[in-house]
């Protein structure tokens, strides 16, 4: 069980990650701050407490794997990988630089710690399932975690993987939906209603856990429960807020695209993100 001290530490790390994301995105005049912010607690918890990985041995076959299927939310992942020592923090200052390495989409590109190049939705979960299958077939006792977007559940390939992961009892595959209820053009329930989302994944024979995706206690409980599954892959439906952590951009889909400027940065300063 997480102690108060640990929760404080994770919360501080989340704030620091949001600071870093803001810095990177403003410097590059880039998009995607809101979808990056909604998954910060999930990334911080996974990389802080769960993933059995070693920055000194990024290709060790005996490792847990994390795939960011919603590849455009990469700024937080870069920040956390740098914090963990996978590469020099200075690289973060080159985010989106012409001729640089830090692309605005999750890409292997010689960046240690990235497991798969994503960007078109619906690819990360099938790839993750393939990796989970490889682990089982090779008797490697590790797990694969995949964060997918809620809009991503529109893609047929997600449901193809839902079928096969359950059929082959890939209990070492843990998927998390960043359920911030927005996609590109509108709210998920206005574009293509996903509800009842929990019932859908349950009917596909997945273990399904619903949580507040910004609450470390709930995240911890869900991950623990996923580790207990003997024969089902797990889907954690994480209810999140797009843009969580900077009040002026929260739940506002403009900030899927819009770079924070003076107006937003004033609020960011007040809220301790600068």
Partner 1 sequence: MRNVIIDEVYQIMKKNKDSYFLTGDLGYNTLEKIEKDFPGRFINVGIAEQNMIGIASGLALSGKKVFVYSIIPFLIMRCFEQIRNDVCYHDLDVTLLGSGSGLTYGILGSTHFALEDLAILRSLPNMTIFSPADEMDAKLGIKFSENFHHPLYVRIGLREEAKIHQHPYNFKFGKGVVIQKGKDLVFFVTGTLMEEVIKASKIIEKEKGLTSTIIDIHTIKPLDKELILKEIHGKKVAISVEEHGKIGGLGSAISEILSADKKLVHLIMIGTEDLFIQTIGTRSYLRKNLQFDSKGIVNRIKNLI
Contacts with partner 1 by CB under 8 A lie at 61, 108, 115-117, 119-120, 122-123, 125-135, 137-138, 156-157, 160-161, 163-164, 167-168
With respect to partner 1, which residue has the nearer C-beta, 122 or 151?
A: 122
Nearer to partner 1, 167 or 269 (CB): 167
> C-beta of 48: minimal distance to partner 1 in Å?
25
Q: What angle do CA 164, 169, 173 make, to 5 degrees?
A: 80
What is the C-alpha to C-alpha distance for residues 34 and 20, in angstroms, rounded to an integer?
14
Q: Which is nearer to partner 1, 131 or 208 (CB)?
A: 131
- Helix/strand/coil (H/E/C) assignment for every residue in 78-144: HHHHHHHCCCCHHHHHHCCCCCCCCCCCCCCCCCCCCCCCCCCCCCHHHHHHHHHHHHHHCCCCCCE
- Closer to partner 1 at the Cβ: 167 or 224? 167
Q: Is 194 helix (H, G, I), strand (E, B) or coil?
A: coil
In the bound state with partner 1, the residue whose beta carbon lies nearer, of 129 and 241, is 129
Q: Minimal distance in Å, beta carbon 15 to partner 1?
A: 33
**Angstrom distance (rounded) from CA 115 to CA 141:** 18
Q: What share of the chain is helix, strand, coil (3-state, %, to 5)?
A: 45, 10, 40
Least Å distance, CB 165 to partner 1, is 9
CB of 78 to partner 1, least distance (A): 19
Question: Residue 118 or residue 234: which is nearer to partner 1 going by CB?
Answer: 118
User: Least distance in Å: CB of 175 to partner 1?
Assistant: 13
Minimum separation from the CB atom of position 201 to partner 1 (A): 16
Indicate the SS3 state at residue 145. Answer: strand
Rank residues 132 and 268 by Cβ distance to partner 1 and give the closer one: 132
CB-CB contact of 51 with 145 (8 Å): yes
Q: What angle do CA 200, 208, 194 make, to 5 degrees?
A: 35
Q: How far is the CB of 125 from partner 1 (least distance, A)?
A: 7
Rounded Cα–Cα distance for residues 249 and 254 (Å): 8
In whole angstroms, give the CA distance from residue 158 to residue 198.
15
Gap between the Cα atoms of 243 and 175, Å rounded: 21
3-state secondary structure of 27: helix
């Amino acid at each position: 069980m997480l102690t108060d001290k640990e929760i404080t530490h994770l919360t501080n790390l989340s704030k620091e990650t949001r600071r870093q994301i803001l810095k990177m995105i403003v410097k590059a005049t880039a998009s995607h701050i809101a979808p990056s912010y909604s998954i910060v607690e999930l990334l911080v918890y996974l990389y802080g407490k769960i993933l059995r990985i070693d920055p000194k041995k990024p290709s060790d076959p005996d490792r847990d794997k994390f795939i960011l299927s919603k590849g455009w939310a990469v700024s937080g992942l870069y920040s956390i990988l740098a914090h963990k020592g996978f590469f020099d923090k200075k690289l973060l200052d080159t985010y989106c630089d012409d001729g640089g390495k830090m692309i605005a989409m999750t890409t292997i590109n010689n960046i240690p710690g990235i497991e798969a190049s994503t960007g078109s939705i619906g690819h990360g979960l099938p790839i993750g399932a393939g990796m989970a299958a490889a682990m089982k077939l090779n008797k490697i006792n590790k797990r694969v975690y995949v964060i997918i977007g809620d809009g991503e559940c529109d893609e047929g390939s997600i449901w193809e993987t839902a079928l096969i992961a359950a059929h082959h009892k890939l209990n070492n595959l843990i998927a998390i939906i960043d359920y911030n209820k927005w996609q590109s053009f509108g709210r998920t329930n206005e574009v293509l209603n996903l509800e009842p989302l929990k019932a859908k994944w349950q009917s596909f024979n997945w273990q399904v856990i619903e949580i507040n995706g910004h609450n470390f206690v709930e995240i911890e409980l869900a991950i623990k429960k996923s580790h207990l599954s003997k024969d089902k892959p797990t889907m954690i439906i994480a209810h999140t807020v797009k843009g969580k952590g900077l009040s002026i951009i929260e739940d506002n889909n403009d900030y899927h695209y819009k770079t924070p400027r003076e107006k937003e940065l004033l609020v960011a300063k007040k809220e301790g993100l600068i």
